[in-house]
Structure 1
Amino acid sequence: MTRLAAIFIMLLSLTSPAVSAQETDMTDAIILDGKTAELSQFKWTHRPLAVFADSPADPAFIRQMDLLNADLPALLDRDVVVLVDTDPDAKSDIRRTLRPRGFGIVLIGKDGGIKLRKPVPWTVRELSHTIDKMPMRQQELSERR
């Protein structure tokens, strides 16, 4: 019950997407409220990962958030911003665009295209592997060298 309460409190305290790890806590920097976010604001700057559930008490949602929180630096390194939406009645922009059913995750590339859609929780390692195979990520890595 404590973990559920912590996740619920985290969802209530989400900030608007003025994202910078230096300005705020890392969690606040990359885990945002999906009800107020628009996918277009992240085009060419971030890779949105939309996490959907019909309730914050959904066991798959709780598992997914635990998996993401376990390795936030890896997500930050890959310019991932997590958009959380657990209210199907809110009819958010990301829900209208991505049309989820129950729990699911959707990874969107910097170009705005859907790169991955899964109905089960994924680890940060699995997500990182998928992102690292993307051509734009390969280009980012080669430019760093």
Structure 2
Amino acid sequence: MTRLAAVFAMLLSLTAPMVWAQETDMTEAVILDGRTADLAEFKWTHRPLIVFADSPYDPAFVRQMDLIKDDLDGLVERDVVVLVDTDPDARSALRQALHPRGFGFVLIGKDGGVKLRKPSPWTVREISRTIDKMPMRQQEIRDSR
């Protein structure tokens, strides 16, 4: 099974009302199942944005995912990968490490540190502003000039 097919099959297994994926070569934004994700694989290459909810039908979760899908280019530009965990009973490694309560999202920097926690949906623009203030992102902007 190719990597794209495996990711797509994993996304189809989610019971979330949304099912969406793009290329998984990590140059595009991807939405992955956070229940099986390992943050270590993203260290120094991507900024994980982990979206938690107790149900895939949580209105705040649905709103956050809509906001993310509305502006994927902003996330791609900032090397963000979205990890989704809507199953508190699974006791994923992400849940054990980050201890979410209901809906919320956590932004992890490329260095592996928690940079932002929010209990309500944010637009990609708001998330992008936070990322753009990070020293590593400032260096990326300078290097791209």
- Equivalent residue, structure 2, for 1:3: none
More deviation in 91-100 or 131-140?
91-100
- Equivalent residue, structure 1, for 2:89: 89
Q: After the TM superposition, which residues 16-55 of structure 1 pair with which residues of structure 2 at under 5 Å, given as runs?
A: 18-21=24-27, 26=28, 29-55=29-55
- Equivalent residue, structure 2, for 1:125: 125
- Equivalent residue, structure 2, for 1:112: 112
Q: Once the 2 structures are TM-superposed, how far is the Cα of residue 30 of structure 1 from its aligned partner? A: 1.4
Q: Once the 2 structures are TM-superposed, how far is the Cα of residue 19 of structure 1 from its aligned partner? A: 3.4
Structure 2: unaligned runs, 5 residues or longer: 1-14
Partner SS state of residue 49, structure 1: strand
Paired AA for residue 20 in structure 1? M
Q: Deviations over 1:97-130 (max 9, x none)?
A: 1110000000000000000000000000000000
Q: Is the 8 A contact 2:52 2:105 kept in 1?
A: yes
Report percent identity of matched pairs. 66
- C-alpha distance in 1, partners of 2:25/2:102? 28
Q: Do structure 1's residue 8 and structure 2's residue 3 form an aligned pair?
A: no
Paired AA for residue 144 in structure 1? S
Q: Is the 8 A contact 1:14 1:33 kept in 2?
A: no
TM-score computed with the length of structure 2 as normaliser: 0.84
Q: Is the 8 A contact 1:32 1:82 kept in 2?
A: yes
Partner SS state of residue 102, structure 1: coil
Partner SS state of residue 17, structure 2: helix
Paired AA for residue 109 in structure 2? G
**Runs of 4+ with >3 A deviation:** 17-21
TM-score computed with the length of structure 1 as normaliser: 0.84
Partner SS state of residue 8, structure 1: coil
